[in-house]
């Protein structure tokens, strides 16, 4: 599906958590473009999330990102294969060599979300083919076609999907239905599946699903219920490297499955809730005695479901 993020000048960037959510929902590479002093700069081909975040940090060290117009794209492969050259955004050009450059400058850039009904030549995407055979000639004939309502309607009729253009004036023009959040335009909001999903349940044990009599529970009351929140979090699974875990009693790493988050909190997989549960105060060590640290580039790093249990107010009062 992919997602385009079109942030005008004067609007704050999405948070790192939002960017992470979009990456893992669309994990086949990313890129961004921005306008500065009459030039559109394109940086693309990021195949690891940390590399993308590092690139944004380097840009933020030079410029105020709030003031820059920025278009980001997170890709799901459709045509042409999963490789850096096929990442978006692209300059509007009829040069295939320029289209495949990972760093480029242009007067007009574009990012695409969807599948264009066109047959691309070998090893390039449908977006690249559409730029070469359709948008580049249109741009030569009418340099500011993006400002013409009728021509943009013709573009939509050809692609039946979504496009975001960034001009050398810092203007953003879109084709298709975008959705707005805090001044930012998104081509879709599929990444919002990772927002918190909360619920309540009651049981003799927090995770003892099988022993609970679901039919007898009065969902309108807490009744001393154990409650919790499921959320999606970026974690790194750790397997055979674990030597021991400190900060908690009675843990044998040989009998569990463990993970770390970006703050190096330790989680154990709990089969009863089919999710990871944090072990407060725990520190994980390797077989050589060194602390195991989270690594965003590790092959075992991914989005996983985490369960955060908590006790109802009634239980807390009873404990007092």
- pTM of the predicted protein model: 0.73
Q: What is the full per-residue pLDDT of the chain (320 aa) written as tens digits?
A: 699 999 999 999 999 989 999 998 898 999 999 999 999 999 999 999 999 999 999 999 999 999 999 999 999 888 778 899 999 999 999 999 999 999 999 999 999 999 999 999 888 999 999 999 999 999 999 999 999 999 999 999 999 999 999 999 999 999 999 999 999 999 999 887 644 444 443 333 343 434 434 333 333 334 444 567 888 888 999 987 888 999 988 788 877 899 999 889 999 988 777 889 999 999 999 988 999 999 988 888 888 888 887 644 444 444 44
Residue 228: predicted pLDDT: 74
Burial of 9 (0-12, 13-18, 19+ CB in 10 A): middle
3 state DSSP class of 85: helix
Residue 57: predicted pLDDT: 96
User: What is 3-193's CATH superfamily?
Assistant: Aminohydrolase, N-terminal nucleophile (Ntn) domain (3.60.20.10)
Q: Which residues contact 123 (CB under 8 A, 6 or more apart)?
A: 80, 81
Residue 103: predicted pLDDT: 95
Q: Which residues contact 263 (CB under 8 A, 6 or more apart)?
A: 294
The C-alpha atoms of residue 41 and residue 64 are separated, in whole angstroms, by: 15
Residue 146: predicted pLDDT: 97
User: With b meaning 16 or more CB within 10 Å and e meaning fewer, what string describes 160-180?
Assistant: ebbbbbbbbebbbbbbbebee
Residue 316: predicted pLDDT: 41
**Segments making up each domain of the chain, as ranges:** 3-193, 196-319
């Amino acid at each position: 599906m992919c997602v385009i993020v079109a942030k005008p000048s004067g609007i704050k960037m999405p948070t790192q958590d939002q960017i992470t959510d979009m990456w893992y929902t669309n994990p086949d590479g990313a890129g961004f473009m921005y306008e500065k002093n009459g030039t559109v700069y394109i940086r693309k081909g990021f195949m690891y999330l940390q590399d993308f975040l590092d690139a944004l940090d380097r840009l933020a060290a030079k410029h105020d990102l709030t003031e820059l117009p920025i278009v980001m794209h997170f890709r799901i492969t459709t045509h042409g294969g999963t490789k850096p050259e096929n990442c978006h955004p692209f300059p509007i050009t009829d040069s295939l060599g320029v289209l495949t450059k990972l760093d480029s400058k242009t007067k007009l850039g574009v990012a695409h979300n969807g599948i264009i009904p066109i047959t691309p030549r070998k090893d390039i995407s449908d977006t690249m083919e559409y730029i070469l055979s359709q948008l580049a000639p249109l741009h030569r004939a009418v340099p500011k076609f993006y400002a013409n309502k009728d021509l943009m309607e013709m573009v939509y009729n050809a692609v039946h999907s979504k496009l975001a253009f960034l001009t050398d004036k810092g203007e953003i023009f879109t084709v298709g239905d975008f959705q707005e959040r805090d001044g930012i335009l998104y081509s879709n909001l599929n990444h919002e599946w990772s927002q918190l999903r909360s619920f309540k349940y009651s049981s003799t044990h927090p995770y003892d699903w099988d022993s609970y009599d679901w039919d007898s529970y009065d969902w309108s009351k807490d009744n001393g219920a154990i409650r919790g929140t499921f959320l999606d979090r970026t974690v790194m699974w750790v397997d055979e490297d674990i030597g021991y875990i400190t900060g908690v009693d009675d843990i044998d790493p040989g009998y569990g499955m463990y993970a770390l988050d970006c703050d190096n909190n330790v989680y154990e997989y709990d089969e009863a809730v089919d999710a990871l549960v944090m072990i407060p105060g725990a520190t994980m060590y390797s077989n050589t005695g060194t602390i195991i640290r989270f690594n965003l580039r590790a092959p075992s790093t991914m989005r996983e479901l985490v369960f955060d249990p908590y006790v109802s107010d009634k239980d807390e009062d009873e404990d007092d």
